[in-house]
Structure 1
């Protein structure tokens, strides 16, 4: 989207005047694009595909920027990279810096401190125009599930454009060399160069959207073809002016209809971008082509209100999203369409002020325009300001109370944790308002995870190929298979230590949000097919080499019944039972590690806000147990009787009627109902005893 403003700046020789080459219909298209995005982000369900506004911007940007470059190449036979980047720097970066400063301040004022580190990093990435890759990594990072919507998430599309405009001008420099040496025509040669970008990008987009849709949405490689469509329209400008007016009008109206149909009929469930994005992008291209003959919707799009909004679209896009995110956090949840519309409408005020007081003064400054070096210096300064805004937010992240010098352990992971319950009884783990110190700090909770994540032992939601990781004693006499989702993986550190001390060879197979059960789970309202495939593959691994013991746990509480219909807990229990029967038939002892109590809210966020009143973050144990998967697991275990051993760690996680957020100076929970690795490590002695009892005669004795 940013590129459209850059080129229009070249087409507007005097401030506020429409000069030669100015296309008011383009401004109208920009107004439609930003309007779709704003209404979609406001939460209006009827516009479920409003995100296509970004795709419209990609096409417009490719068209306008390429039009500028091709004319320069035809005029002089070369492209001046310094002038090109200077124009972009002075147009885009002052507004970017101002928005990033505001985003940092809004985060500091309205967003929980537990999010500051992630969002500070996002702001730095946005200032450097690489945030789309950071968001792509986060989209498939199970550990990032507790991270809310970033106030600079919308910068992903700007990052895509800027990365495109590193590659495309460089390619055109080569085109210029070829043209000068071979006397080939500029536009056909550019078309060939463009095809080298568009075709592979489109093919890759379709592929990656089908295999890793969360990643495909953000990465540059799946979006280059959209900008390329706009570039192709610019290259073909000489042909479009000769299109019959009636044909152009028909194409324009059909294109506008395609855009509106996309916004109304597509939704977040539509694989995107992929082939579906051809509808709004080709529709946009058709509308642009019609504008060459001032035909079709060109007059409608040239209406003054649309032109005014289009002229401010870059500012609106920058400002609306940080306000929506801040308002959402301040409200403690979803805003609702009415409030969302009010917030997005309010973004007109800072957008207009930014345009008048920051963007235009720099954009139209004769001193800045006099030398490319000056514009590039201004751009560099603005980039540094944006980076510093993110760094300032990172430095502002508070820490929990540090341990006094006389009690600070050499290894923070040796803190007491659950051991206080073993030594002092259940009341030692009761909620209390203050602690001497705390580890991990609530702002570090999301990073307090087992080593298994660094070893990439957990299969993500898209994968179906089992990934085995070895723990414990490699020369041990008891084979223990550990299978389940992240609620099983959270115990890896303790199981590793127990395995080494008891002579157990421990092998983990885990997959994100996937229970080890003969059922079809759902994810995002759709059957979780990769979970089914992973289950079958893991069962095949166990069948090929049956372990002595299977230890399993899970978070999922419901699944679809075999004959279809709505998901239910009964279907999940039945599926668990069937899977355990299959494993038990191999001669393997099955042990279920009951799901730990599930808190109603993010405990670590509450703790960060209530360091002096921690009891405000306590929650009811019975409710938490009911919210966990323990009842489904117990139902299956009861049905199978003595064939299944049961381990319940609830007394060591929540020993009283109200669950404490901090026990033995250790923070108990990280994201959702996951336990911090520090707390899990503190349960080793208790878990060892419980497991040995549940395994029974299968476990080797010292005499054996």
Structure 2
């Protein structure tokens, strides 16, 4: 979050030429408003559902403060010293940041899941070098990252945006200064032009990206540059704001505060953000800053308590988030009251770090005399954060990895007289395992790299081709991610059997004529997609369609409530459509769903219990009942032509389902099967599909 210009604002000459230069208490008050909104939002206060706009307020303030300093340097000396500029940034940012990053690593080690140490250690490294926003953007659009908890340094994303802006913006100003020297044009209009070249493309891209890539757009720098540029425009126009009439200034100030308050109370996480909506709090913040340029900002902002909180805002922001994450990990979740106590408690370490770390380093005479020495100090502090992250990555416990060619998995199961498989052993430890728990989420089919699963918004089917491209038998694999988890196994079978295999899967959407019961708004895009897919399959007339699905409940069209009956009927309708077109349908029954496993997932449990793996096993009957298999079996009973392939015996003995079979970790995220285990079941799956 952009809180880093606090010290500059406290003693910088912020007033316009002709006005009395001095400290702007209203700016500190605005900081207090912004940090207050963020803290209440993060603490879980639903009344400020739009508290995330505090970030946008800080972007504007930071753009205003730093640009003002740069402009005054140019007007005073005729140049910009990049060395001095970055030395000032290093003294302000890095002492507190390095300390909090080290503490964040400690909090993760003490309270977080072992399997997330590597992920969050990487986040800490990225935060230390101010690139974490791009890492978070990539993870936000990664379907396979959905089980990852919130990062203890997620809040560093906006600091990263700010510092990336301050790599570009001084260089733009330097170019402007050179142009001014050669052409003789006025400095501030030239700066405004340079700003426009940054701000306008960024705003346009923000609107486009927010509409098309909303999760990614929230974090990336390119959609946020214009917000800092608004503050910079206010700094460039400072001589004009000093001339604003008193009444107009007061109206601007109170109107801006009213808009900020309205945004915080009315907006929520469903808002398309940043996009054009972010113009509301950013322009409102600019209005308040303008109103204070001649001393007529709302007096509330200059109250002593507001100024004190504003001065602490950077430190408070840095500290509150890892403390919230630690409390959440320890308590298994927190409510608004607990969250509020945590953010209030963050005031103490924030104040201590300001008094004992930030201020002493920033005011050190040795650093004041040498920008080069300050930059070396900054490099050392950056390395502190980097090493803290690497230490967390290296601390992940592991067992030996199974040697290549010795992976067994489902191959250890023996065939009984009734055709089922048995021989599953539930033990407390194994000598070797693959994949490692920390790598389980990456043990996925190749289809994810190929983009073979369309998103939840998609309503038009897309196909990936597997198997034998010259095969004489066309087979289609359809359904959700529980169908896709078998794709590499089916690919091997298809190549052996001479099938041309087409894959058409959609996130959280099996092949049924129904709307699955999911969280949030009705998943109508699923039914629309399936209507289109069924039409294409009937026209395509493949020899066979293989399906699987996770959901067992659908929205009853009469009552509007989740119902297994509605899912059974919807699934049967879809299958009847295919069977009626002369297409063979085979359903691979959903695998057992881990129920009651400690730690938030099988692979997480295994990572924490390498010597007590039985703690990660679960009840077979509950696991089957919680899966999509009962609905699939009931639908198959209504359409006798459909063949149902059972797989429960590949995962469980008569009573329990272990986490590791044949030295292979069975589950990755949720109830999804690791690709290694799915591939180990190829001989059995081939036999049952025949």
Q: Same fold (TM over 0.5)?
A: yes
Asked if structure 1 preserves the Cα contact closer than 8 Å seen for 2:515 and 2:523, the reply is yes
2:81 counterpart residue number: 80
Asked if structure 1 preserves the Cα contact closer than 8 Å seen for 2:37 and 2:264, the reply is yes
Give 1:395 shift.
0.8
Give 1:544 shift.
4.2
Note closer, same or farther for the CA distance 1:409–1:392 as it changes in structure 2 (3 Å cut).
Answer: closer
Pairs within 5 Å for 1:64-213: 64-213=65-214
Q: Pick the aligned partner of 1:554 from 537, 546, 549.
A: 549
Secondary structure class of the residue paired with 1:479: strand
Secondary structure class of the residue paired with 2:433: coil
1:327 counterpart residue number: 327
Secondary structure class of the residue paired with 1:418: helix
1:312 counterpart residue number: 312
Encode CA deviations 1:388-437: one digit per residue, 9 max, x unaligned: 1111111111112x26xxxx6433xx422122222588662243222232
Asked if structure 1 preserves the Cα contact closer than 8 Å seen for 2:10 and 2:24, the reply is no
Pairs within 5 Å for 1:83-482: 83-297=84-298, 299-332=299-332, 334-400=333-399, 402=400, 409-411=403-405, 414-422=406-414, 428-464=423-459, 466-482=461-477
Deviates more, 1:577-586 or 1:658-667: 577-586
Aligned counterparts of 1:381 and 1:544: Cα–Cα separation in 2: 65
Note closer, same or farther for the CA distance 1:267–1:76 as it changes in structure 2 (3 Å cut).
Answer: same
Deviates more, 1:560-569 or 1:110-119: 560-569
Aligned counterparts of 1:68 and 1:189: Cα–Cα separation in 2: 17
Deviates more, 1:275-284 or 1:452-461: 452-461
Deviates more, 1:531-540 or 1:109-118: 531-540
Encode CA deviations 1:564-593: one digit per residue, 9 max, x unaligned: 834443333333233323333332111111
Q: Pick the aligned partner of 1:485 from 462, 480, 485.
A: 480
Asked if structure 2 preserves the Cα contact closer than 8 Å seen for 1:77 and 1:180, the reply is no
Asked if structure 2 preserves the Cα contact closer than 8 Å seen for 1:438 and 1:666, the reply is yes
Give 1:367 shift.
1.4
Deviates more, 1:574-583 or 1:536-545: 536-545
2:502 counterpart residue number: 507
Encode CA deviations 1:599-655: one digit per residue, 9 max, x unaligned: 13401111111111111111112211222122232332222222x111111111123
Deviates more, 1:391-400 or 1:286-295: 286-295
Give 1:32 shift.
1.2
Give 1:130 shift.
0.8
Secondary structure class of the residue paired with 1:550: strand
1:577 counterpart residue number: 572
Aligned counterparts of 1:296 and 1:68: Cα–Cα separation in 2: 21
The count of corresponding residues between Structure 1 and Structure 2 is 677
Secondary structure class of the residue paired with 1:482: strand
2:17 counterpart residue number: none
Which segments of 5 or more consecutive residues in structure 1 lack a partner in the other structure? 14-18, 693-704
Secondary structure class of the residue paired with 1:508: strand
Aligned counterparts of 2:136 and 2:39: Cα–Cα separation in 1: 20
2:590 counterpart residue number: 595
Give the TM-score normalised by the residue count of structure 1.
0.92
Secondary structure class of the residue paired with 2:286: helix
Note closer, same or farther for the CA distance 1:258–1:569 as it changes in structure 2 (3 Å cut).
Answer: farther
Give 1:138 shift.
0.5
Give the TM-score normalised by the residue count of structure 2.
0.94
Note closer, same or farther for the CA distance 1:409–1:169 as it changes in structure 2 (3 Å cut).
Answer: closer
Give 1:261 shift.
1.4
Aligned counterparts of 1:327 and 1:188: Cα–Cα separation in 2: 50
1:667 counterpart residue number: 665
Which segments of 5 or more consecutive residues in structure 2 lack a partner in the other structure? 15-19
Secondary structure class of the residue paired with 1:592: strand
Secondary structure class of the residue paired with 2:408: coil
Aligned counterparts of 2:3 and 2:661: Cα–Cα separation in 1: 50
Give 1:464 shift.
4.8
Give 1:461 shift.
3.7
Secondary structure class of the residue paired with 1:31: helix
Give 1:104 shift.
0.8
Give 1:248 shift.
1.2
Deviates more, 1:183-192 or 1:418-427: 418-427
Encode CA deviations 1:158-190: one digit per residue, 9 max, x unaligned: 111111111111111111111111111111111
1:31 counterpart residue number: 32
Pairs within 5 Å for 1:639-654: 639-642=638-641, 644-654=642-652
Note closer, same or farther for the CA distance 1:384–1:337 as it changes in structure 2 (3 Å cut).
Answer: same
Aligned counterparts of 2:190 and 2:554: Cα–Cα separation in 1: 56
Q: Pick the aligned partner of 2:512 from 508, 517, 525.
A: 517
Deviates more, 1:285-294 or 1:462-471: 462-471
Asked if structure 2 preserves the Cα contact closer than 8 Å seen for 1:6 and 1:92, the reply is no
Aligned counterparts of 2:549 and 2:139: Cα–Cα separation in 1: 23
Note closer, same or farther for the CA distance 1:672–1:71 as it changes in structure 2 (3 Å cut).
Answer: same
Note closer, same or farther for the CA distance 1:98–1:268 as it changes in structure 2 (3 Å cut).
Answer: same
Deviates more, 1:502-511 or 1:451-460: 451-460
Aligned counterparts of 1:568 and 1:274: Cα–Cα separation in 2: 38
1:697 counterpart residue number: none
1:627 counterpart residue number: 626
Give 1:236 shift.
1.5
Secondary structure class of the residue paired with 1:383: helix
